[in-house]
Amino acid sequence: MSKPNFYVIKLKRNFLPLTFVLFTFCLLIFSSSNLPSIKNGLMLWANSVVPSLFPFFVATELLMHTNIIQLLGNLLNNYMKPFFNISGEGAFALIMGIISGYPVGAKIASNFRENNICTKEECERLLSFTNNSGPLFIIGTVGILMFKNTYIGILLFITHLLACFTVGFIFRYWKKNSNSSITVYKNKKIYDKTNIVTFSNLGEVLAQSITNSISTILLIGGFVVIFSSIISIFKTSGLLNALVLIISPAFKTFNIDPNFIQGVLTGILEITNGINYISFIACKKLSINIIFSAFLLGFGGVSIMLQVWSIVSKTDLSIKPYIYGKILHGLLASLYTYFFINIFPFFNFDL
């Protein structure tokens, strides 16, 4: 009699395949609720993400072909180096990352690495603090549209910036003793004047910039749709409610309404849906809504984290400083928001 064969599935080796199989199965089982969520995700991407980000992507690509980076490098080197331990060219990533929003800062940091504008260590430091929520999203979408209050948006933007600069200062010590010189990366030439756009090559540069921007915006659209579907599966399957029940005792200990748990968990996956949910929670202490929103704005969510990972995976940059930096950014932003609300009376919106 032959012995029965036992097949042992190694969880670590097969974790991702099993996850993808489970995800495909859930798409079939919960298709009735997934379809509306996917449509909403597409609408969110088409109506909000594309109009707000695509022009910035094109503008960033075009600016990469001008001497603005060198000018900023010469102008701001005396500030960037002592504060952030990054050459002055990094100011371009910081400024555009603040103005444009996620994931422009990470895209510029990756471009800097590919074109040898900054060292690997400097680009990893840039990843930790230059990828931020933009003023259009924080003040316009979160403040005015979600909370119906411009001052809340301004408060969140101020604390978001303060947290950004603090993270950058802390990460100035990232691999401080292992700085390398700028070396040729992937056989690409070091950034020089041949990259400058002129009237003779304007058409080629513009076409290339639009093509690269389309690729990035489609990538973001894919993530928005996928995570809209994942959130829908979590809600329909009851998994989200189960997590709420598990975590609710901890929230009650700190006298925080457990209704915030679902918003926070949703925001950790995808920032827009999470903050939108939190803004609708009726609470006499509106400061709690604002503090949780500040954390999610700083952290950015897993969706954006994977977007950044897909961008930096084309280089030799590590994703670790980005992950550590965003967790720290979220915590600092919520802490600064708490202090502002308690120190400045006009920022206290509690009833």
pLDDT for the residue 7: 52
Give the separation between CA 169 and CA 315, rounded to whole angstroms: 24
Please report whether residue 296 resides in a domain.
yes
pLDDT recorded at residue 336: 96
CA–CA separation, 67 and 89 (whole Å): 10
Which pTM value belongs to this model? Answer: 0.82
Residue 4 lies in a domain: no
- Domain residues for the domain of 125 are 30-173+185-347
Task: Please count the structural domains in the chain.
Answer: 1
Q: Tokens 């996928």 identify what position?
A: 226
Looking at residue 225, its pLDDT comes to 85
Between CA 90 and CA 160 the distance in angstroms is 19
What pLDDT score was predicted for residue 4? Answer: 55
Can you give the pLDDT at residue 296?
Answer: 94
Looking at residue 183, what is its pLDDT? 47
Give me the phi and psi of 141, to 5 degrees please: -75, -55
Give residue-wise pLDDT tens across range 144-200.
888 888 999 999 999 999 999 999 999 988 877 665 554 444 434 444 555 677 777
Q: Looking at residue 33, what is its pLDDT?
A: 82
Residue type, 302: V
Identify whether 3 is part of a domain.
no
Q: Is residue 7 part of a domain?
A: no
**Contact of 295 with 336, CB cutoff 8 Å:** no
Rounded to whole angstroms, the Cα distance separating 277 from 213 reads 30
> Is-cis flag, bond preceding 103, omega within 30?
yes
CA distance 53 to 51: 6
Structure tokens at 244: 């709420």
- Our CA angle for 166, 170, 175, nearest 5°, is 150
Residues (pLDDT < 50) of the chain are 182-191
Q: Tell me: the pLDDT tens digits for 3-44?
A: 555 555 566 677 778 888 888 888 888 888 888 888 888 887
pLDDT score at 179: 54
**Does 20 reside within a domain?**
no
Tell me how far CA of residue 249 lies from CA of 245, 254, 316, in angstroms. Answer: 8, 9, 43
